[in-house]
Amino acid sequence: MSRKGKHIWSEKAKSLAKDLHNEISLDNYNWHEFRGNKQRRSAELIISAISQLINDGDEIEIENLLNQAILWIREEIKDKGCKSH
């Protein structure tokens, strides 16, 4: 793990990114409501990328998350739904 960003992010920035990630991430309670919402899905991926960037995450993974978000924004991918429904 790189330590290049160790001192450029305040603890408040890290905490805010974590809080926003927790707030907009899909979970068992809101999955069915938002699973196909392109704005919600892309935002979740973008904040995941930001969180990883702030915490010196893997640059390839960050890029993959951002590319996935772009696909959702462009509606090039969609949720196929639950097989049990």
pLDDT in tens, 27-71: 888 887 888 889 999 999 999 999 999 999 999 999 999 999 999
- Which two three-digit tokens encode residue 69? 């978000």
CA distances from 23 to 13, 30, 79 (A): 15, 11, 21
CB 26 within 8 A of CB 34: yes
Best CA proximity match to 49, nearest among 38, 60, 40: 60
Q: What CA–CA distance (Å, rounded) separates 35 from 84?
A: 15
Q: Is the pLDDT of residue 18 over 90?
A: yes
Q: Is the pLDDT of residue 79 over 60?
A: yes
Q: How is the chain split into domains, by residue range? A: 11-26+34-73
Task: Say how many Å lie between the first and final Cα of the chain, rounded.
Answer: 41
The model's pTM is: 0.82
